[in-house]
Amino acid sequence: MDQSPLLAGGSQKSCEPVIPPQTGEALAMIIITRPDATEEQIGHIVSRIRDWGLKAEVSRGEMRVVIGVIGPEDKIREKPLGVFPGVESVTPVLKPYKLVSYEFRGTSSKVKIGDVVLGNKDVVIMAGPCSVENEGQITTIANSIRKAGARILRGGAFKPRTSPYSFQGLGKVGLQLLAEARKESGLPIITEVMDTKDLDLVCEYADCLQVGARNMQNFSLLREVGRTRLPVMLKRGMAASIKDLLMSAEYILSEGNFNVLLCERGIRTFETMTRNTLDLNAVPVLKSETHLPIVVDPTHGIGIRQFVPAMALAAVAAGADSIMVEVHNAPELAKSDGEQSLLPAEFVDLVGRIRAVAEAVGRAV
Ligand code: PEP
Ligand code: MN
């Protein structure tokens, strides 16, 4: 085989594209069944669609079942989806995002991280340090946030830092420390994967993968996390529109992984008094556009410890399914984001106030 001179003596990596070229556009159709449709009729529709080589995703609402169908446009258009007994309507999804769109499921999705379910009436609180630093630090914080009411532990082992000279995270050791903190506290863990080369390793430890703001449009990473079946929290890029976020999530779902959470974490604006501008507009907009649960990270959103609680409460009032906040037992010693991390006592106080706001808007903690 001829070898490119550029590769000679160097990397043996194949230049074959991972993704086969796609010839046509994909089309998604929504089949809504009649309230009196039988299980047999629904099963028949789904198996026929799959026999045709199309993908079918079944979602059960209280009255009706929604079958989302996706496949190449030319193929889908020639199929008589409306003729099956039990079908009430067939409509195309006209938005550019298909699998993530609310109508594709017709109901909100739930995502399970360990034993914790997001997307229910209760607001799930995730907390922990920006970075995992050492065993004492992560275990102490894990125990204190669990006692306060957090249900998921966060902590970065691979850190996306603006400067290459800043602390980059403990890597594998950080993951091992997180696993120990999970054992000690009983909390499932969420941690960032920055690079496809680390994905297998991170998957060995994480209960939920985090794709950070800076990687929101790293499409090869999105496809790879889409091939796993672990839950993925996709953070909004700091210069990304809500639509960009939805399109990025579509990459993950298009690989078959529907266990996705979207996270609003602040965007860049002309404002300089705060680190970012937490775009709470995104919460009700996303809740109406997508079935995926929505997380808000007020910590990176505002970037100043003193103001984090107010934005966390506002996010709950706006309808977030989950809140992620950074907590550190000695923020003055933190290797990253100490200035925006809550002290454990401030976190205890915040959880009580989140509970009060959640109850006021018909939710719980
Ligand atoms: C983080 O969660 O610590 C982080 C780096 O977040 P973001 O990607 O939103 O900046
Ligand atoms: Mn951080």
pLDDT of residue 12: 45
The confidence score (pLDDT) of residue 16 equals 56
Minimum CA distance residue for ligand 1 atom 6? 212
The predicted pLDDT at position 89 comes to 96
> Over the stretch 133-163, which tens digit does the pLDDT of each residue have?
999 999 999 999 999 999 999 999 999 999 9
- How much is the pLDDT for 151? 98
Atom of ligand 1 at shortest distance to CA of 212? 8
Instruction: List domains and CATH numbers for the chain.
Output: 4-105 (3.30.70.1140), 111-360 (3.20.20.70)
> Taking a C-beta distance cutoff of 8 angstroms, is the pair 229, 208 a contact?
no
Are 169 and 334 a contacting pair, CB within 8 Å? Answer: no
How far is the C-alpha of 183 from the C-alpha of 190, rounded, in Å? 14
What is the identity of the amino acid at 325? V
Of the residues 130, 245, 322, which should be mutated to test ligand 1's pocket, given the most ligand atoms within 8 Å of the CB? 130
* pLDDT tens for each residue of 166-195: 999 999 999 999 999 999 999 999 999 999
- In percent, the amount of the chain with pLDDT more than 70 equals 94
pLDDT, tens digit, for every residue of 79-109?
A: 999 999 999 999 999 999 999 999 999 999 9
Query: Which of 167, 169, 141, 137 is closest to 153 using CA atoms?
Result: 141
Matching residue, tokens 């009255």? 63
- For residue 324, the ligand 1 atom closest to its alpha carbon is 2
Tokens 């909390």 -> residue: 187
265 lines ligand 1 (CB under 6 A): yes
Average pLDDT for 53-75: 91
Predicted confidence (pLDDT) per residue in 107-132, tens digit? 999 999 999 999 999 999 999 999 99
68: CB partners within 8 A, 6+ apart: 28, 29, 30, 31, 56, 57, 59, 93, 98, 99, 104, 105
Model confidence at 64: pLDDT above 90 = no
Ligand 2 midpoint to CA 290 (Å): 26
CB distance 296 to ligand 1 below 6 Å: no
Q: Is the CB of residue 212 below 6 angstroms from any atom belonging to ligand 1?
A: yes
The pTM (predicted TM-score) of the whole model is 0.92
What are 2-39's pLDDT values in tens digits? 444 334 344 444 555 455 555 678 899 999 999 999 99
Percent of the chain topping pLDDT 90:
92
Q: Is 300 in the pocket of ligand 1 (CB under 6 A)?
A: yes
Instruction: Check residue 21 and give its pLDDT.
Output: 52
Q: What is the mean pLDDT of residues 272-296?
A: 98
Q: Which residue's C-alpha comes closest to atom 3 of ligand 1?
A: 130
